[in-house]
Amino acid sequence: MKSLLIILVTLIPFSLFFSDNTSNSNITPASHVTITSDFNGVWVNEDEQTRATTQCKIRYENNRFIVQMWGKCHPEDCDWGENASKEVYEGVEKFELLWEHGFADVDIIYEMVDGKLKMTNNTHYKDNSGREDYTLVEYLIKQ
């Protein structure tokens, strides 16, 4: 019995280490790992004429991304304030935040693509204005 226990204690961690985990959505293959610090910094929209997001500031602390956003307004850009992600750990390729603006909810997926910050904005209007929901993809470059 003691021999069987020793074998199980040895084989289970060994098999977990060498098993194919790429089908598990929580596991990122090594070739696609993004270091969380890659997201850190000040990002500006690559489209200088954008009518949407102009700037985004991201920092990683206490296993969460803290994001501050600015949108195009006149005469100055509108500060969306700060928002914090759910807990994330080293190696995430993307994360998601919900921004509630009263008249609309904007669900944004933040993702690193070829050294740029890709933001996929899914806007849902809830003010009964009749405007249609939409999705906008923006790319920001690090300052």
Predicted local confidence at residue 34, as pLDDT? 66
**pTM assigned to the model:** 0.75
Predicted local confidence at residue 44, as pLDDT? 98
Architecture of 34-138 per CATH?
Beta Barrel (2.40)
The pLDDT tens digits along the chain (143 residues) read 444 333 333 333 333 333 343 333 343 333 345 678 899 999 999 999 999 999 999 999 999 999 999 999 999 999 999 999 999 988 888 999 999 999 999 999 999 999 999 999 999 999 999 999 999 999 999 99
In contact, 109 and 94? CB cutoff 8 Å: yes
* Token pair for 103: 């008249």
Separation of alpha carbons 8 and 104, rounded Å: 54
Predicted local confidence at residue 9, as pLDDT? 35
CB half-sphere exposure, 58, CA atoms < 13 A:
27
If phi over 0 gives left and psi between -120 and 50 gives alpha, with beta otherwise, what is residue 16?
A: alpha
Residue 15 has φ and ψ, to the nearest 5°, of: -70, -35
In the chain the first and final C-alpha atoms are separated, in Å, by: 62
